[in-house]
Structure 1
Amino acid sequence: MAKHGKRLRQAYEGLDPSAAIDLAEAVSMIKDRAKAKFDETVEVAMNLGVDPRHADQMVRGVVSLPHGTGKTVRVAVFAKGDKADEAKAAGADIVGAEDLMAEIQGGTINFDRCIASPDMMGVVGRLGKILGPRGLMPNPKLGTVTPNVADAIKAAKAGQVQFRVEKAGIIHGGVGRVSFSDDQLMDNIRAFVDAIIKAKPTGAKGTYVRKIAISSTMGPGLRVSVSSVATPV
């Protein structure tokens, strides 16, 4: 059994990880116990009543957080001609076509989000086995395959978060930093949870949102009362 380090043991002192507490209290406690020497990320984890092995129970989407994520997002764009110029003007970190494909095939992936204009999908499609497992494959449903590359870049830079449920019905995402105010974190958490609820698939049966927990990068995880975040479904 893995042993917790001294810092994490201290962070858990006086806590009951199994008790569901109010969101405001949980956010305050997470911030108080974030003792790392860097600005830790605050993450939300949700246990959903779905089995993503079935297509009608897949939960996937994107949400723009009202206060951003606090993270600098590097964006790569597959585009040519005027669209490439548009992407550069909008602040894309990497812009290319076949040359960018070759870099990725060679193992160089130094970006957090990948966007493509529709005409480039013939090139991007060859990278499915590389970008897919990393959650970086451009997808029209997520707004990352679009003729409006400038808008997609700005949304990604402004704090747009993609989410996708994992095999065990768990979905998670970073929603800010411990340096954010309590209100900013609560706004972001509620926006994230609301997006998950709106993405409820047709095949979901019974209780959809079973558990919600929040944590910081190096801190403890705290279970949050679902009713303090959103209306239970």
Structure 2
Amino acid sequence: MGRMTKRFRKASEGLNAETTYGIPEAIKLIKSRAIAKFDETIEIAMNLGIDPRHADQMVRGVVQLPNGTGKSVRVAVFAKGDKAEAAKAAGADIVGAEDLAQEIQDGRMDFDRCIATPDMMAVVGRLGKVLGPRGLMPNPKLGTVTPDVAAAVNAAKAGSVEFRAEKAGIVHAGVGKASFTEEALVENVSAFVGAIIRAKPSGAKGAFVKKVSVSSTMGPSVKLDISKLSAESGAKAA
């Protein structure tokens, strides 16, 4: 643990915890400090001025990162017949119907994203208590309940990221890898921030985005300049 602390201190040199930065400068600082022996994930955390316990203040959605996440995503699809074949052709890792439901009920869930055709929701609905707490329940608003399963599989594999505010009003996600170019990371962070700003719920009052920070898996965090976010992400606050 002492070695890890020493590495963290080295990575934190020259950083002021209270200084805020524009997205490009923040990415440059984070990327140069990702010095672990593995390809660290670049992560973002956004503190929002909401109370997710109220339905009109919930923030949830999906965003397509232009340069992907750098993570291999395993996709399970509930479908039958031609739709099942289309899902397989698109690269789905697991495809099934009642048999897949039984596997999940038995505790076998080796996947990161779950997609279903509308006609399979009667089967999938019975798995709500298992899939729901893990954030894996297919949802039409997120594009994971759809007749076009091939497009949904392609989107998941290409880097679509689902987001949902936690109880404290925090949204976080992995937005790339330290091995990505600075430009690619800036584009991904901008896309994610823009999606959150556009997802501002009707019940949110006052300042919507209160604090944003980016970091690498093992590195220090850097705060983003809130006043620049709308312009840098190309999004207008609701």
CA–CA separation in structure 2 for the residues paired with 1:130 and 1:74: 18
**How many residues were matched structurally?**
230
CA–CA separation in structure 2 for the residues paired with 1:213 and 1:185: 14
Matched, 1:73 2:62: no
Amino acid at match of 2:20: A
Name 1:228's counterpart in structure 2. 228
SS at match of 2:155: helix
Matched, 1:188 2:183: no
Give structure 2 stretches of 5+ with no counterpart. none
Name 1:156's counterpart in structure 2. 156
Name 2:208's counterpart in structure 1. 208
Matched, 1:145 2:145: yes
Superposed displacement of residue 108, structure 1: 1.1
Provide, for residues 59-106 of structure 1, a one-character-per-residue CA deviation record: whole Å limited to 9, x for no partner: 000000111111111100001111111111111000011111111111
**Superposed, which structure 2 residues align to 1:34-183 within 5 Å?**
34-183=34-183
Provide, for residues 10-53 of structure 1, a one-character-per-residue CA deviation record: whole Å limited to 9, x for no partner: 22222122221222221111111111111111111111110000
Give structure 1 stretches of 5+ with no counterpart. none
CA–CA separation in structure 2 for the residues paired with 1:45 and 1:143: 23
CA–CA separation in structure 2 for the residues paired with 1:127 and 1:167: 23
SS at match of 2:21: coil
Amino acid at match of 2:93: D
Superposed displacement of residue 54, structure 1: 0.3
CA–CA separation in structure 2 for the residues paired with 1:188 and 1:230: 14
Amino acid at match of 2:138: P
Amino acid at match of 1:39: D
Name 1:25's counterpart in structure 2. 25
TM-score by length of 2: 0.93
Provide, for residues 98-141 of structure 1, a one-character-per-residue CA deviation record: whole Å limited to 9, x for no partner: 11111111111111100000111111111111111111100000
Contact 2:23 2:189 in 1 (8 A): no
Superposed displacement of residue 227, structure 1: 2.9
Contact 1:69 1:176 in 2 (8 A): yes
Amino acid at match of 2:94: I
Deviates more, 1:126-135 or 1:56-65: 126-135
SS at match of 2:95: strand
Amino acid at match of 1:169: G
CA–CA separation in structure 2 for the residues paired with 1:102 and 1:66: 35
TM-score by length of 1: 0.95
CA–CA separation in structure 2 for the residues paired with 1:17 and 1:122: 50
RMSD (CA atoms): 1.3
CA–CA separation in structure 2 for the residues paired with 1:80 and 1:60: 28
